[in-house]
Structure 1
Amino acid sequence: MGMLRAILAWLLVPVLCMLGLVVCLARPFNPANNRLLGRMMAKTGRFVLGLQRPLIGAQYLPEHRPTVLIANHQHNDDLFVLGDLLPPRTVTVGKSALAWVPFFGQAFWLGGNVMINRSRSKQAVCVMQATSAAITRENKSLWVFPEGTRSRGRGLQAFKKGAFYAAVASGAPITIVCASAYHPETTGLLGRRRPVTVEILPPVETAGLTNSDIPDLMQRCHEKMQQTIDRLSVRTV
């Protein structure tokens, strides 16, 4: 049953993207497209999967202030766990190959999201620095998975610098979003799905910081995320 639910949930993603493309084409590159599609896919996916997602710290999700959101990236199912947590006017960062995924890639592009080639680290940092101007000028928020790839059960991986460059360059706070570790039952391969708890932490301010502060900022954010994930994961065992 778990496998059938997972297959159905993912089959619905391109269907929802096709429906969302109508809106995206009517208002191309509008970041509001991302919030709409994220909510559609997350709420539909959790319903189909029978997945509970307790949320702690929702008051720290900014509604009227640009921020750089960072979250741990475990599995493709992050879309269903985290997709409805985008603040208004949020763009996300993804690999450029996503543009070729039928329907999803086109919706992602039309949401004005940032596509980077992660094999070219210097280019990726330049893109993130340019994105900081959009945060300042266009009042946008930025969602990033700072590990750069899915952990697939290996625990929290080292962070890449791009998100922190963007935060420091724009002076925007960093909002840390932590999801408890997925269990085999959570991924839907076997048995009943266990809840995945998500906690949003108070903002980490970056005003006044410079590029020389980025290594310390990365370490502090990594420690905060790791400690929170460990605590949440013990609760859900």
Structure 2
Amino acid sequence: MNEEVLSKLKSVQWSWPMVLVSVLSFLLIYRHYGGYYYRSTMAKVLLFCVSVYGFIIACILTPLRCTHLINYSVAKVMRASSRFWTGLEVDCEGLELLDQIKGPAIYVCNHQSSLDVMLIGVAYRKNTSIVAKKELKSYPFLGWFMTMSNAIFLDRKNRDSAVKEAKQAAADIHKKGINVWVFPEGTRGHESQVTLLPFKKGPFYMAVQARVPIVPVVLANYYNLYSAKEKRFNPGTVKCRILPPISTKDVLEESSEVQKLADSCREQMLNALKEISPQKKADK
């Protein structure tokens, strides 16, 4: 009897690889036919898997003093894996401008949904820290690797704390020679509208204090491909445009001057957004 039980247990144990292979095979084949629920599920799985990857690669690169490659590696892996599993491509204009930037810069990008992290890898540079809300710091794996990669966590509910963190980031930009990636809208915009929310002044204060250029990165509106509200997630190409760097050398560290800088940047990005987004959406 014991031998029969052991035999059955061994049979079950050896069947797990077959189950995993079968599931993976199904996912590979179905990726060409799956709709909203399939791609949304795969997007969530990818976010988790890449977070785990980020933690592992951070543990490897930190002792080697290669922390400047952590976020870069994660962004590139996310870009490649999301393209494969969800069918989202990125057609980016202006990549040559990035090669012309000498020294640190602050990259500002519009924010539509959680899918943005799957797309920005096309323009993500080495030695770039990302600005994120403080709540993410406590997330398993995601928060751990972000902490190890020198992410800048801002407490939106505590202005004094946010200002302090921004000033420290401005100092680190030159001290550590890092770039900073930030979503200046502060939260996700309206996915069905080709527009931008008002920009927060924090990133622009940071740029002015550090005297580094601002590099606008614009992702086209992809409402035609993705809408959580309408349960739509189709494969397709999202246009991206990198705009010429905006100098901050002559901008005074005054609220009114920084506001003008933020407004000017937003206007340039909004014009580009309307130009590269699907025309039927831009007309609304």
Superposed CA offset, 1:197-219 (max 9, x none): 00000000111321122111111
Structure 2 distance, partners of 1:112, 1:21, is 13
Separation of aligned partners in 2, 1:203 and 1:130: 23
The aligned runs of 1:1-237 (5 Å cut-off) are 1-3=34-36, 4-28=38-62, 30-62=67-99, 64-153=102-191, 154=193, 155-187=195-227, 189-190=231-232, 192-212=234-254, 213-234=257-278
Q: Contact (CA 8 Å) 1:89, 1:141: kept in 2 or not?
A: yes
Check conservation: 2:111, 2:188, Cα contact below 8 A: yes
Contact 2:43 2:82 in 1 (8 A): yes
- How far 1:11 moved relative to its partner? 0.4
Identity level (%): 27
Q: Secondary structure of the equivalent of 1:158?
A: coil
> What amino acid does structure 2 have at the position aligned with 1:156?
L
C-alpha deviation, 1:236, in angstroms: 8.2
Displacement after TM superposition at 1:230 (Å): 0.7
Q: CA deviation at 1:235?
A: 5.1
Residues 68 and 144 in structure 1, CA contact (< 8 A), matched pair in contact too: yes
In structure 2, the gaps of 5 or more residues are 1-33
Shift of 1:45: 0.9
SS at match of 2:200: coil
Partner secondary structure for residue 195 of structure 1: strand
* AA of the residue aligned to 2:245: P
Change (3 A) 1:124 1:166: same
Using CA pairs below 8 Å that are at least 6 residues apart, which structure has the higher relative contact order? Answer: 1
Contact 2:221 2:278 in 1 (8 A): no
CA distance, structure 1, for counterparts of residue 104 and residue 224 of structure 2: 35
TM-score normalised by length of structure 1: 0.92
Q: 1:191 to 1:89 in 2, by over 3 A?
A: closer
Q: Does the CA-based 8 Å contact 1:9-1:44 persist in structure 2?
A: no
CA offsets, 1:17-46, max 9 Å, x none? 223322211333823201101111122112
**Separation (CA, whole Å) in 2 of partners of 1:191 and 1:177:** 23
Q: Which runs of 4+ in 1 moved over 6 A?
A: none
Does the aligned pair in 2 maintain the 1:179–1:199 contact within 8 Å?
yes
Larger Rg: 2
Asked if structure 2 preserves the Cα contact closer than 8 Å seen for 1:68 and 1:143, the reply is yes
1:129-186: per-residue Cα shift (whole Å, max 9, x none)?
2211111111110111011011142531001111101100111000000011121423
Per-residue CA deviation, residues 58-100 of structure 1 (Å, 9 max, x unaligned), is: 0122564210000001100001111342212100100111122
Letter of the 1:198 partner, please give it: C
- Larger relative helix fraction: 2
Root-mean-square deviation (Å): 1.9
* Shift in Å, 1:126: 2.4
